[in-house]
A and B are shown apart, each in its own frame.
Chain A
């Protein structure tokens, strides 16, 4: 049976078929749907973890205990999880261990474009690069086999286009893989320097054996075609090369790319002489191929920035382009993402804008507070950076009013350590925790503050106030994010406290508040003075057109933020009621 699946759905299916028993992740685009789909298989114990490092460590425990495991994260998640991952390369595995890094060339939803293939080399582990959903599914099983056979963790690396593109996949039944027996083995699993020195030479030996294996790996294959071009390619590059060149080229399609299948590459280059390397992103393969003393035509022709495309391959190798219409697309306004109508973050940012001089922000929907017209946020770097960044600002610019804004999921992911640091080092910073009770930006995943687990079943809910107090904060306010006066008063008091302070602005995300009665507002034309104060909160449901301010009654949720900024009482419930 064949089914149309995204790469992420296919990876989930692969985990199911390959007998995975434990799967963990922290969400992150474009990887999120892997765990969302795995969670639908009752045979797999799946969980959202508080962050990527934790997810890897839970999976490690399960792997030591003898189960096949899978962990998934977005590319920057590997940075967070790098510590346990690097050392796992020394320990090796008991049950198979595969971790997925979903990279984001072109930065559709990310803060950087890091090419995580380099991690495989750095961690001395195995790199698998699928080009479509079928391969993605198969590589999970094959990767787990390699993991167990060679006693190594395995990196399965996708990109946005692999994770979020659908193609047909043949399904197979689940293989039940018995647990590997667990035996206490300190030399293998307890990282005393003396133990690690014993294992260290074995890692180099393992890499050599893996390199030999890579030459015979079935996914590394020559696809015979025309003699016009000889192309080495992997991952999404393969799709674009094949789309542009079709049968005119002969391809060496690589799927296991680290350790490098040096024998295959050498033979291919010896045979064809002039060989093009079509790889998206950094010259990862090119550098390794050059290190073998071989040459290919790669980045001298193809960009290393952004995504590759069939159009680029066509232009660079064939010198042609598709015929196109010329439409007058001048002055087409952009359509940046926005905080939703009714988003509880909006009013908080409107109040922060009034009281703060410098705002260090963080990663989530609330990063959008930065967009015009709210324009709130001086910095945003990586998850958890807001609070330590603010402390750094406070050290250097003590006269400024400094606010850090951070979401509930981000706070639990990596904000707590920053808050402890802030209290310990007594920085005059007000931290605003935007507690919308969900992991919003990545599509509403549950988290420890939401009170539900990955299956939507009730779970113990952490008490943010207690955590904040336990970190040593004594100046703490909890406010309703929809109540602007209350929020403003708390912010003023917090900033006046002259020390570390926290304001928890609480209100569930409008997109999950399905049970709330929504009463859209309208504008009383006779009361509206067209001062446009309401437009400054940047709600997509309010517009100034044809000389009047108008509220879109379908989009408006009746959150009342605009009503509170209107000095003339011009907002009323649709239908005329006050």
Chain B
């Protein structure tokens, strides 16, 4: 891979985006790729908008993905999908979890949650994959594993064999949730 693959994982602080980033990093390492990753800690994790950047390939220089550079964005929440959509390459794909989490300005009535997010993405010609990851996680028997379901959807679209993902999930996650995590991952992979 001459050009690195650029991924953005976006969501709301506390949704488990960091775990997904860790698994991708571990997989890229297993493949022998150069890999760089960047994430924001601290204040934003208190329910703010969060992003993890992951890049892997033969040679990666900057740990950041810029606007217009992402091959794939995984959005754990609809509004965050819209907020970060301009990071996508024109030919990129965005995976959007249908979940809506109202930010405080919406809760207090100072702002409105846009009701046409998918329409806006479509209008801009964004290749969008829409999924109810919460439902799939519940179907897998583990309603909290929404992040791993989304990881499954992403993984399916990357040039990495399934076994490597399973191995990375087993390594990064706690041993006692291994089986449940793999079931959730499969829901995303086969979506």
B88 at the interface (CB under 8 A from A): yes
User: Across the interface, do B64 and A166 meet the contact criterion of CB distance under 8 Å?
Assistant: no
Determine which of A161, A325, A336, A372 lies in contact with B64 in the assembled complex, contact meaning CB atoms within 8 Å: A161
* Nearest CB in chain B to that of A322: its residue: B68
B105 at the interface (CB under 8 A from A): yes
Contacting residues, chain B, for A543 (C-beta < 8 A) = 102, 106-107
Shortest Cβ distance from residue B137 to the other chain A in the assembled complex, whole angstroms:
12
Per-position contact with A for B5-44: 1 when CB-CB < 8 Å, else 0?
0000000111000000000011001000011111111111
A371 to B107, CA, bound (A): 13
**Known contacts being A322-B67, A329-B83, is A167 close to B35, with CB within 8 Å?**
yes
**Known contacts being A324-B90, A333-B105, A365-B46, is A239 close to B40, with CB within 8 Å?**
no
User: Across the interface, do B67 and A164 meet the contact criterion of CB distance under 8 Å?
Assistant: no
B155 at the interface (CB under 8 A from A): no
User: Across the interface, do A336 and B90 meet the contact criterion of CB distance under 8 Å?
Assistant: no
B57 at the interface (CB under 8 A from A): no
User: Across the interface, do A310 and B66 meet the contact criterion of CB distance under 8 Å?
Assistant: yes
User: Across the interface, do B123 and A335 meet the contact criterion of CB distance under 8 Å?
Assistant: no
Per-position contact with A for B74-104: 1 when CB-CB < 8 Å, else 0?
0000011011011011100000000000111
Determine which of B14, B37, B66, B103 lies in contact with A333 in the assembled complex, contact meaning CB atoms within 8 Å: B103
Contacting residues, chain B, for A160 (C-beta < 8 A) = 40
* Nearest CB in chain B to that of A107: its residue: B43
A331 to B29, CA, bound (A): 40
Determine which of B37, B43, B108 lies in contact with A166 in the assembled complex, contact meaning CB atoms within 8 Å: B37
User: Across the interface, do A338 and B124 meet the contact criterion of CB distance under 8 Å?
Assistant: no
A389 at the interface (CB under 8 A from B): no
User: Across the interface, do B111 and A331 meet the contact criterion of CB distance under 8 Å?
Assistant: yes
User: Across the interface, do B41 and A538 meet the contact criterion of CB distance under 8 Å?
Assistant: no
Shortest Cβ distance from residue A366 to the other chain B in the assembled complex, whole angstroms:
11
User: Across the interface, do B41 and A29 meet the contact criterion of CB distance under 8 Å?
Assistant: yes
Tell me if A's interface is mostly helix, strand, loop or mixed: loop
Shortest Cβ distance from residue A225 to the other chain B in the assembled complex, whole angstroms:
13
Which has the most chain B C-beta neighbours within 10 Å: A311, A329, A545? A329
Determine which of A239, A322, A442 lies in contact with B69 in the assembled complex, contact meaning CB atoms within 8 Å: A322
A544 at the interface (CB under 8 A from B): yes
B121 at the interface (CB under 8 A from A): yes
B61 at the interface (CB under 8 A from A): yes
Determine which of B45, B107, B111 lies in contact with A540 in the assembled complex, contact meaning CB atoms within 8 Å: B107
**Known contacts being A327-B120, A335-B80, A340-B46, is A242 close to B61, with CB within 8 Å?**
yes
Contacting residues, chain A, for B47 (C-beta < 8 A) = 335, 337-338, 340, 540
B174 at the interface (CB under 8 A from A): no
User: Across the interface, do A109 and B41 meet the contact criterion of CB distance under 8 Å?
Assistant: yes
* Residues from 234 to 274 in A contacting B, C-beta threshold 8 Å: 239-240, 242-243, 246
Shortest Cβ distance from residue B168 to the other chain A in the assembled complex, whole angstroms:
11
A311 to B69, CA, bound (A): 10
A3 to B41, CA, bound (A): 21
Shortest Cβ distance from residue A13 to the other chain B in the assembled complex, whole angstroms:
16
**Known contacts being A331-B114, A334-B103, A543-B102, is A164 close to B46, with CB within 8 Å?**
no
Contacting residues, chain A, for B123 (C-beta < 8 A) = 328
A569 to B43, CA, bound (A): 34
Shortest Cβ distance from residue B136 to the other chain A in the assembled complex, whole angstroms:
16
**Known contacts being A327-B85, A328-B124, A443-B41, is A339 close to B105, with CB within 8 Å?**
no
User: Across the interface, do B25 and A4 meet the contact criterion of CB distance under 8 Å?
Assistant: yes
B177 at the interface (CB under 8 A from A): no
User: Across the interface, do A166 and B36 meet the contact criterion of CB distance under 8 Å?
Assistant: yes
**Known contacts being A166-B36, A324-B86, A325-B88, is A29 close to B43, with CB within 8 Å?**
yes
Determine which of B35, B37, B43, B69 lies in contact with A441 in the assembled complex, contact meaning CB atoms within 8 Å: B43
* Nearest CB in chain B to that of A310: its residue: B62
B159 at the interface (CB under 8 A from A): no
Shortest Cβ distance from residue B62 to the other chain A in the assembled complex, whole angstroms:
4
**Known contacts being A243-B62, A309-B64, is A336 close to B120, with CB within 8 Å?**
no
Per-position contact with B for A434-464: 1 when CB-CB < 8 Å, else 0?
0000000111000000000000000000000
User: Across the interface, do A337 and B38 meet the contact criterion of CB distance under 8 Å?
Assistant: no
**Known contacts being A166-B35, A329-B83, is A29 close to B113, with CB within 8 Å?**
no
A331 to B105, CA, bound (A): 12
User: Across the interface, do B66 and A309 meet the contact criterion of CB distance under 8 Å?
Assistant: yes
User: Across the interface, do A335 and B85 meet the contact criterion of CB distance under 8 Å?
Assistant: no
A368 at the interface (CB under 8 A from B): yes
A108 at the interface (CB under 8 A from B): yes
A327 to B190, CA, bound (A): 29
Determine which of A2, A324, A535 lies in contact with B67 in the assembled complex, contact meaning CB atoms within 8 Å: A324
Per-position contact with B for A309-328: 1 when CB-CB < 8 Å, else 0?
11100000000011111111
* Nearest CB in chain A to that of B113: its residue: A333
Contacting residues, chain B, for A443 (C-beta < 8 A) = 41-42, 45
Determine which of B36, B104, B113, B124 lies in contact with A327 in the assembled complex, contact meaning CB atoms within 8 Å: B124
A165 at the interface (CB under 8 A from B): yes
A428 at the interface (CB under 8 A from B): no
User: Across the interface, do B114 and A325 meet the contact criterion of CB distance under 8 Å?
Assistant: no
User: Across the interface, do B66 and A4 meet the contact criterion of CB distance under 8 Å?
Assistant: no
User: Across the interface, do A333 and B67 meet the contact criterion of CB distance under 8 Å?
Assistant: no
Shortest Cβ distance from residue A525 to the other chain B in the assembled complex, whole angstroms:
19
Shortest Cβ distance from residue A249 to the other chain B in the assembled complex, whole angstroms:
12
A7 to B35, CA, bound (A): 14
Shortest Cβ distance from residue A105 to the other chain B in the assembled complex, whole angstroms:
13
Contacting residues, chain B, for A109 (C-beta < 8 A) = 41-44
User: Across the interface, do A372 and B105 meet the contact criterion of CB distance under 8 Å?
Assistant: yes
User: Across the interface, do A335 and B12 meet the contact criterion of CB distance under 8 Å?
Assistant: yes
Shortest Cβ distance from residue A419 to the other chain B in the assembled complex, whole angstroms:
26
User: Across the interface, do A337 and B46 meet the contact criterion of CB distance under 8 Å?
Assistant: yes
Determine which of B26, B37, B39, B48 lies in contact with A337 in the assembled complex, contact meaning CB atoms within 8 Å: B48
User: Across the interface, do A29 and B42 meet the contact criterion of CB distance under 8 Å?
Assistant: yes
A85 at the interface (CB under 8 A from B): no
Shortest Cβ distance from residue B32 to the other chain A in the assembled complex, whole angstroms:
10
Per-position contact with B for A104-139: 1 when CB-CB < 8 Å, else 0?
000011000000000000000000000010000000
A168 at the interface (CB under 8 A from B): yes
B135 at the interface (CB under 8 A from A): no
**Known contacts being A166-B36, A326-B124, A327-B120, is A372 close to B41, with CB within 8 Å?**
no
**Known contacts being A332-B79, A332-B114, is A311 close to B41, with CB within 8 Å?**
no
Shortest Cβ distance from residue B103 to the other chain A in the assembled complex, whole angstroms:
4
Q: Can you sample 9 A-B contacts with CB below 8 Å?
A: A2-B29, A33-B41, A324-B86, A325-B88, A333-B113, A339-B46, A340-B47, A442-B42, A540-B104
Q: Please give the residue numbers on chain B whose beta carbons come within 8 Å of chain A beta carbons, in ascending order.
A: 12-14, 25-26, 29, 34-49, 60-64, 66-69, 79-80, 82-83, 85-86, 88-90, 102-114, 120-121, 123-126
Given A109-B42, A333-B114, A340-B47, output 5 extra A-B contacts at Cβ < 8 Å.
Answer: A32-B41, A164-B39, A165-B36, A310-B64, A335-B47
Q: Please give the residue numbers on chain A whose beta carbons come within 8 Å of chain B beta carbons, in ascending order.
A: 2-4, 29-30, 32-33, 108-109, 132, 160-161, 164-168, 239-240, 242-243, 246, 309-311, 321-329, 331-340, 365, 368, 371-373, 441-443, 535, 538, 540, 542-545
